[in-house]
Each structure stands twice: as structure tokens, then as C-alpha cells.
A and B are shown apart, each in its own frame.
Chain A
Amino acid sequence: MLTIQEIMETIKMVQEENLDIRTVTMGISLRDCSHPNSKTACTKIYDKITRLAENLVKTGEDIAREFGIPIVNKRISVTPISMVAESSRVSSYLPFAEAMDRAARNVGVNYIGGFSALVHKGFTNGDRVLIDSIAQALSSTETVCSSVNVATTKAGINMDAVYTMGKVIKETARLTEERDGLGCAKLVVFANVPEDNPFMAGAFHGVGEPECVINVGVSGPGVVKSAVERVKGAEFGILAETIKKTAFKVTRMGELVGRTAAERLGVPFGIVDLSLAPTPAVGDSVADILEAMGLERCGTHGTIAALALLNDAVKKGGAMASSYVGGLSGAFIPVSEDSGMIRAVVDGALTMDKLEAMTCVCSVGLDMIAVPGDTSAETIAAIIADEMAIGVINQKTTAVRIIPAPGKEVGDFVEYGGLLGRAPVMAVTPFPSDEFVKRGGRIPAPIHSLSN
């Protein structure tokens, strides 16, 4: 029999500490939708997505109501479009993005991920067309998200792709100028991308995945923060243990929702991603957890140690709670989506350099960072290259989601509202890296890639 304390603990987590299932993401393979005629291919894509995801939103809402756990987002990820569209001999994949967008709106999801390409070792013709289409696709659709993997520990860093992505990001910002470069918030550049990540904007349905699958992303920064506050002053062993136990409980919730959703939709259950994903809402911040550990402001000395402890404890707790853990599990540190991170930047405690260092121990990377609108494509490419190097050398996933906010300078804000929040424009170093990024070619894989 459950005790009254256990029941109250669960209710408190949901009602006061913002525990939620952040996303239920249906992964759909589009490999059978290739066709030499792009119109036929797009029709097949639209039909398949709307058929498989028809009941996704309703099922999510039903489960949320019955279990009393909010499920914030219902989303879809698909096979990287560069692979699906490649058979169609067209010079732009914009129609494919439009087909995805129509399908996503039809079934009522807020984002669809997978306008993607994997180019860590080089480009196919389809990859090139896809990358050339990204800026237009993101500016002329609402729901489509794009990601490009430009590096892996096994292959090294495709610097041609890194430079190209610097230019694509600039172009995307230009095309969505009237909305503070919003398109860039839907575009991620990855190293060592996971193929089962349910979180946008980087979600896509990897080639090793089944026909259709349900992945779940759980989030509970508020719950972890409350737990950390309860052990104020305690030694690190106790702190880590407390976070672990909390992560366990949070993940169990994800496992239950994921399995229930998969069963009702008649598709296999994939993974629980046990990430702490913040939102701009007060009480839902990863930075607040770090500060609750005893840092005056996120970004000060000690931040990396605190984040490393947090990330590891979350993973350990989650690993016990679910046998199928995947995605980007750990702590996200987006700037615009986390009220504590925004405050840390505004107060001058958190700089770009420290953020880069933090990405060595967080689960993803430089996320939702606004930089001055006149930042060059070469400088953005150099920022990407640094981040990719961290991922490749440390055999971890890293990513860059950066917004060169048109017309904005350091001290200004970009405002997106909703889950994307608002970001203070951060300074980048004024010294160019042009000659470096323009070399082209591929940075070789590190020596430890030779393991097998």
C-alpha cells in the first residue's frame, strides 16, 4: 500500500514543482516514401505521417488527463529528408518541408523534426540540396525543424559543412529578420547526434530505428531544485544521492507515460530521455538548481563542477528507472529558455566562454544563444567548430543552436515568447577566424576513434 507521504510527494511534484512529460515524440520512418517524382514523394510523406500520427495528440491528452501529469508537447520526427528526397531530381527540397509542415498541422503537433542531413564524413548530392534548402524551409514553414550532423568521433569534423552551416545560419536569420531570426531557433548543428532524441529542434528518426516508435522526454528541473534545497549544506555524496533518487522518480513517470502511449497507439516504445529541460517559467530552471547547490550566480567559479555532478546524478538515477534510456539524457543549458540562465547573462556572471566550458559536461551544447546581428558567417562557423571539437574529442554529443539576431547588439534582447523565451544578445570575440574556417576539408578523427 502506498503511504500518504508518497502520494503527496507525487502530487506536489506535479502541482508545485512543474514536473511534466516534456514531449511525446512519434518517430516515423519515411524510407518507403522515396520517389523519382517529387510530387508523388511529398504526397506519400504527407499520407504516411497523417496516417500514423492521427491519434497521437488525442492519446497524449487522454493519458495526461487520466494520470494527472501534464504532457506539454506532442511531436513527430522523421527520417532525415536528405535520404528520402534524394531519389527525386529536384534542385530544392522546399516542397518536402511544406509537406511535413502540412502533415504536422493536420495532426495538431507543434513541431516536426527531420529536415536533416548527416554529413560528418562528406556530402551526397541529396545532402547538398537539403542544406541549400534549409534557410528557405525554416523561413516559410511554421513547424519544421532542421538539424545537420557535421562531426563524429569516428569520422572527425567536416569543416566544409561547418563553414556552410555558418552561412546557412546567417541566411536563415536574414530570411526571418522581422521575427528576430526565429528560423535559427529551429536549426541545430550537431556532433555525434543521437538518432532517438525526442527533443526539438534536433529530433529526427534515425536509420537504425524501427518503422514507427514512441520516444518520451521527461523534464523536472523544479523537482530537482526542491530536492537540492532540502539538503542545503549537506556534503556532496548526499547531494548526488538526493538528485539520483529524484531523477529515478521523474524517469519512472516518463517510462509509464511512454509505455502507455506506445501501447495505445499500437507502436513500439523506444526510449525515455531523462533530460532536465528548462522552460522560461519561474521554477523550471536548470540554472536555479546550480544556484541552489551554493553558487551565487550560474556561471561563476564552480559552475562546471556543479553541472557535472548534476548531469551525472541525473543519468545514474534514470538508468535504474528505465532499461531504455537514450536521446540526450542529462541537463540542457539553453540560454533563452531558462530564466536563471537569462538572469546570469544579464548580471554578467555567465559569458560565452563559460558556456562553452559548461558544454563539456552538459548533455548538449551551446543552445539558444543570441549573438550580435553583424556576427560573420565565418565567426559562427568557428564557434561551431569549437563546439564540434569538444564533442568529437570527448566522445559526447554537442550541438550549436545560435541566433545572429538581425539588427541587434550586445545588451539588446530577442523575444520569441512561449517555450523559446527571450535571450540577451551575448558578445563574441571581435578577432576574425576567417582564414582558419576557410581552409576546408575535414579535421581527422582523434586517435581514440580507432577503438573497436
Chain B
Amino acid sequence: MSQLKENPKGNRIIVSIMGPDRVGIISGVTGVLSDNSINILDISQTTLQEFLVMVLVADMEKSKVDLATLKELLNAKAKVIGVRIDAQHEDVFNFMHRI
């Protein structure tokens, strides 16, 4: 995470999960995060069209892995539970939607 840490705004990422609803999605995703010491700051979920959409804000300050590795771990988990998971730095969203 050395590169993202240089950002003074913080080290937050946004994890988005999208797919058909089923048991075990939240525990699957949060398990990956807690295993790597990533603190969850906020979770919200909604149903968009027929999909479950969950958005998670997490802090990577004490993370054991960097964002690229985390994305790989999340992708592997996504395949197991049958949803799509993305993780992106928070700046992308703030920059686009907030002036």
C-alpha cells in the first residue's frame, strides 16, 4: 500500500459487490477483509434491478496486503460465491461526484 498511503486524504477503499442474492455473501467478503486486518467503516446494501448491490467502505491503514493482492483475493472469493466484487480507491468516486 506504500503508494496509496502517500495520499493525505487517507487510505480508504470502496468494495462493491453485485450479484444474485444468496446466503453467505457478506460473511464471505468480510472474511477476506478481516483475515487481512482491513477495518470495515461502513456497509450499505440495496437491490438494484434484480441484483443485490452491496457497498463497503474499508480502511487499508493496517492491511497485510496491498490493493492489487486484495483484489485478487476478492476475485477468487467472488468466483466461489457467484457474485462480482470490485475494490477501488475512494478517490475515484470522490473526484467524480464531489466538487
Write out the residue numbers on chain A whose beta carbons fall within 8 Å of the beta carbon of B3.
62, 66, 264
Q: A1-9, A42-50, A126-134, A384-392: which one contacts chain B?
A: A1-9
- A11 contacts chain B at the CB level, 8 A cutoff: yes
Measured in the bound complex, the distance between the Cα atoms of B96 and A69 in whole Å is 12
| A252 and B95 form a contact (CB under 8 A) | yes
Say yes or no for B27: interface residue by CB 8 A criterion: no
Residues from chain A with a CB closer than 8 A to the CB of B46 are 4
Q: Given A4-B46, A66-B3, A67-B91 in contact, is the A11-B97 Cβ separation under 8 Å?
A: no
Q: A65-B67, A66-B4 are in contact. Are A4 and B44 (CB under 8 A)?
A: yes
Closest-CB distance, B83 to chain A (whole angstroms): 13
**Closest residue of chain A to B3, judged by CB?**
A62
Question: A2–B94 contact, CB under 8 A?
Answer: yes
CA distance A62 to B68 in the complex (A): 9
Are the C-beta atoms of B97 and A256 separated by less than 8 Å? no
A4-B55, A66-B89, A67-B91 known; A249-B4 Cβ under 8 A? no
Within 8 Å CB of A253, what residues of B? 92, 95-96
Given contacts A2-B94, A4-B46, A7-B16, contact A68 B88 (CB under 8 A): yes
Q: From residue 66 to 95 of chain B, which have CB atoms closer than 8 A to chain A?
A: 67-68, 71, 86-89, 91-95
A66 in contact with B67 (CB, 8 Å)? yes
**B29 at interface, CB cutoff 8 A:** no
Q: Which of A7, A9, A65, A264 contacts B68 (CB 8 A)?
A: A65
Contact of A255 among B55, B95, B97, B98 (CB under 8 A): B95
> Residues of A within 8 Å of B, CB-based: how many?
22
Residue B48 at the chain A interface, CB threshold 8 Å:
yes
Contact between chains at A4 and B97 (CB < 8 Å) = no
Contact with B along A229-265 (1 / 0, CB 8 A): 0000000000000000000010011011000000010
Interface centre among B48, B94, B96 (most CB of A within 10 A): B96
Q: How far is the CA of A10 from the CA of B88 in the complex (A)?
A: 11
Interface centre among A4, A7, A15 (most CB of B within 10 A): A7
Whether, in the assembled complex, B14 has its beta carbon less than 8 Å from a beta carbon of chain A, the answer is yes
Within the assembled complex, what's the spacing in Å between the Cα atoms of A2 and B4? 20
Q: Which residues of chain B are within 8 angstroms of A7 by Cβ–Cβ distance? A: 14, 16, 55, 93
Shortest A82–chain B CB gap in Å is 39
CB neighbours of A69 from chain B (8 A): 92
Contact A10 B68 (CB under 8 A): no
Question: What residues of A have a CB within 8 angstroms of the CB of B68 in the complex?
Answer: 65-66
Contacts of B95 in A (CB 8 A): 252-253, 255-256
- Pairwise interchain contact A6-B67, C-beta atoms closer than 8 A: no
A221 to nearest B CB, angstroms? 18
- Residues of A136-194 whose CB lies within 8 A of B: none
Q: Which residue of chain B is the closest to A13 with respect to CB atoms?
A: B96
Residues from chain A with Cβ under 8 Å of B45 in the complex: 4
Min CB gap A347→B, angstroms = 34
Whole-angstrom distance from the CB of A274 to the nearest CB of chain B?
A: 14
In the docked arrangement, what's the CA distance between A45 and B68, Å? 35
Please name all residues of chain B whose beta carbon is closer than 8 Å to the beta carbon of A62 when the two chains form the complex.
3
Q: Which residues of chain A come closer than 8 Å to B96, judged between CB atoms?
A: 6, 10, 249, 252-253, 256
**Given A7-B14, A65-B67, A66-B4: A256 touches B53 (CB 8 Å cut-off):** no
Question: Known interface pairs A65-B68, A249-B96, A252-B96. Does A8 touch B91 (Cβ–Cβ under 8 Å)?
Answer: no
Enumerate chain B residues within 8 angstroms of A68, measured Cβ to Cβ.
Answer: 86-89, 92
Chain B's nearest CB lies how many Å from the CB of A84? Answer: 34
* B89 and A10 contact, CB distance less than 8 A: no
The 0/1 profile, CB within 8 Å of B marked 1, for residues 1-30 of chain A is: 110101111110001000000000000000
CA distance A68 to B75 in the complex (A): 13
- Tell me which of B53, B71, B91, B98 contacts A65 (CB under 8 A): B71
A8 and B48 within 8 A (CB): yes
- B-side contacts of A6, CB under 8 Å: 93, 96-97
Chain B residues, Cβ within 8 Å of A11: 16, 18, 86, 88
Q: Which of B1-32 contact A (CB under 8 A)?
A: 3-4, 14, 16, 18
Q: Which of B67, B95, B97 has the most CB of A within 10 A?
A: B95
**The 6 nearest A-B residue pairs measured at CB:** A68-B88, A256-B95, A6-B97, A252-B96, A67-B92, A249-B96
15 A-B residue pairings within 8 Å (CB atoms):
A2-B14, A2-B97, A4-B55, A7-B16, A8-B16, A9-B97, A10-B97, A65-B68, A66-B3, A66-B89, A67-B91, A68-B88, A69-B92, A252-B95, A256-B95
